[in-house]
């Protein structure tokens, strides 16, 4: 893959690559590893799903989604979300939550894998990039403290182990979603487990949780009865995050109520890679082409603010360069195949 000069523009302009503007029970319509009801995870969770319950073996930590037809996209929001269209997906398993640092660390320990951010890019493959963009590193977001200050910086030494750059670590963040993973990194993890990355249609179907045509994965109100339903940005973006939802930066997975299928963080926290190459509308795109330089990401992140992003919705989508890691993009995996067995 050859980056089409976008990172060079980002470095010059200081813009973001993916921007445009206590236990509780919830009913589950999918078949999760707990079955019937899903308890929130959050701070007491190790980041590694238990291989117990309905989803065992290759599908441990996943939820079965029956599949079906739905209206994909939106004609009421941003142009890239339309035109809405009918889509069909078959049944599939999907991770109950975003892949965590603990899960990714287990993969690295087993395989010795090194991410794109750890290896850096070669001048031979990327002749249009300046030397500072070729050293190992990744894009890190910084709150703005003065007008004209860049929001993002390419930080040498930033990677999944060092989310803010050299000197930072994952201590205490084992149950947070892994970030600074490029598309090929996410694909390598999925391949290791015999899984795949979700198509955009699969991801959106799962995110809706059975709510056809609703704005959010929980309904039409962004904060029903004043409750924050996803990890997002509150305050004047990009200057101050008031953290009214309880978190600044990534949150441990499972801190917010699951959707109707028992899936956590299908809105906010981190954007998630889809397998589809990006097109600026909702025509079906070819999924799984490993050579497409720009991919679809879904779900919004903790950086989505009401005055700027508002993309923590199932229909929302953005382009993301496949070979660029950032501090607000992660992923989850799918397993296509047999539904759960019943006693």
What does the pLDDT look like over 20-49, one tens digit per residue?
332 233 333 454 433 345 678 998 899 998
pTM of the model: 0.86
Which of 245-248's residues contact partners 24+ apart within 8 Å by CB, and which partners?
A: 247/302, 248/302
Instruction: Assess whether pLDDT exceeds 90 at residue 261.
Output: yes
Q: Give the pLDDT mean for 304-309.
A: 80
- Per residue in 178-211, pLDDT tens? 999 999 999 999 999 999 999 999 999 999 999 9
CATH number of the CATH domain containing 337: 3.90.1580.10
What are the E-state strand segments in the chain?
A: 25-27, 37-39, 62-65, 68-72, 85-89, 92-95, 137-141, 152-156, 271-277, 294-298, 317-321, 329-330, 334-336
Residue 59, C-beta contacts closer than 8 angstroms, at least 6 positions apart: 93, 335, 340
d(CA 327, CA 152): 10
- Per residue in 80-134, pLDDT tens? 888 889 999 999 999 999 999 999 999 999 999 999 999 998 888 888 888 878 8
- Number of domains observed in the structure of the chain: 1
Confidence class for position 18, pLDDT limits 50, 70, 90: very low
Q: Which domain holds residue 21?
A: 1-343
pLDDT at residue 240 in the model: 87
């Amino acid at each position: 893959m050859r980056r089409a000069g976008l990172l060079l523009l980002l470095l010059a302009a200081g813009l973001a690559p993916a921007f445009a503007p206590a236990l509780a029970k919830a009913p589950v319509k999918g078949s999760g590893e707990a079955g019937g009801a899903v308890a929130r995870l959050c701070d007491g969770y190790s980041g590694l799903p238990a291989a117990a319950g309905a989803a065992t073996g290759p599908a441990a930590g996943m939820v079965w989604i029956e599949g079906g037809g739905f209206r994909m996209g939106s004609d009421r929001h941003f142009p890239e979300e339309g035109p809405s269209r009918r889509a069909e997906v078959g049944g599939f398993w999907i991770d109950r939550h975003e892949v965590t640092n603990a899960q990714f660390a287990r993969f690295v320990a087993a395989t010795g894998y090194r991410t794109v951010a750890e290896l850096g890019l070669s001048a031979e493959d990327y002749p249009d990039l300046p030397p500072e963009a070729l050293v190992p590193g990744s894009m890190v977001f910084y709150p703005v403290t003065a007008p004209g200050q860049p929001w993002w910086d390419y930080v040498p030494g930033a990677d999944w182990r060092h989310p803010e750059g050299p000197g930072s670590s994952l201590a205490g963040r084992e149950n947070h979603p892994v970030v600074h993973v490029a598309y090929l990194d996410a694909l390598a993890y999925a391949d290791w487990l015999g899984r795949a990355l979700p198509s955009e249609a699969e991801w959106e179907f799962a995110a809706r949780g059975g709510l056809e045509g609703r704005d959010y994965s929980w309904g039409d109100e962004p904060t029903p009865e004043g409750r924050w339903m996803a990890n997002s940005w509150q305050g004047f973006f990009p200057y101050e995050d008031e953290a009214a939802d309880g978190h600044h930066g990534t949150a441990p997975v499972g801190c917010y109520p699951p959707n109707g299928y028992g899936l956590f963080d299908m809105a906010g926290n981190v954007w998630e890679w889809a397998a589809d190459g990006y097109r600026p509308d909702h025509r079906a795109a070819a999924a799984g082409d490993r050579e497409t330089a720009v991919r679809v990401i879904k779900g919004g992140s903790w950086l989505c603010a009401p005055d700027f992003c508002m993309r923590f919705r199932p229909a929302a989508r953005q382009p993301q360069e496949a070979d660029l890691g950032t501090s607000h993009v992660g992923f989850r995996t799918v397993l296509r195949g047999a539904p759960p067995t019943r006693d």
